[in-house]
Amino acid sequence: MGQKENRDNIISPHLSLSSFEMGRDDVNVVCTYGKISIWFGRQVPDVVIGQILLGIANIDSSAVHELELVCDFDDIMEYESHGYVLVSYAKSKDGYRTTFHVPFSSKKALFYLAGSVTEELKDKDTVLDCYWTGDDADIMLLYEELSNIDGWKLKSINYKEDAKEKQNDPIIFD
């Protein structure tokens, strides 16, 4: 592909990274310190959803997705049986308002999460936010990990404004 030879020079060591965007036409991944935001288009294949989730887990197994939903009390145990971790719940008029963490350290939880994303994509595009402790090096490792996906490319790199001298526009890759 030609990008691997230059991977060490993709992120400037002299500037503070704000965001790193990569993906393909049917999926977009934006990495920042603390968060990975993934947009899945309705046409994304199931295998790509799995590759992305497992790719994140391979780079930072401490990453989590936070899921908030209203469900029946019995459904709470169902989610937990799939590896989700209950963070909080409270009775509401429609059932129980719950917050779960989906740990990327659990392949079982990621498999169930991938299935949920696939179901959502039947109706609409989906955004999945993951929280991690990644830095510039981890972002580059994730880019390298996901580069095995067909059609994967670097879309743009944005640096923090206060670290820039006269560079005001993001670097866009085609």
Strand residue runs (E) in the chain: 17-24, 27-32, 35-40, 64-71, 85-92, 95-103, 126-131, 153-159, 171-172
Q: How confident is the model at residue 3 (pLDDT cuts 50, 70, 90)?
A: very low
For residue 83, the model assigns a pLDDT of 98
Average pLDDT over residues 51-72: 98
Distance CA 38, CA 84 (A): 19
Supply the DSSP symbol for 170: P
Whether residue 164 is predicted with pLDDT greater than 80 in this model: the reply is no
Q: What is the mean pLDDT of the chain?
A: 90
Helix axes 46-59, 136-146, angle to 10 degrees: 150
| 8 Å CB contact between 115 and 128 | no
Average pLDDT over residues 13-17: 80
Whether residue 26 is predicted with pLDDT greater than 80 in this model: the reply is yes
What pTM value is reported for the model?
0.86
| 8 Å CB contact between 121 and 54 | no
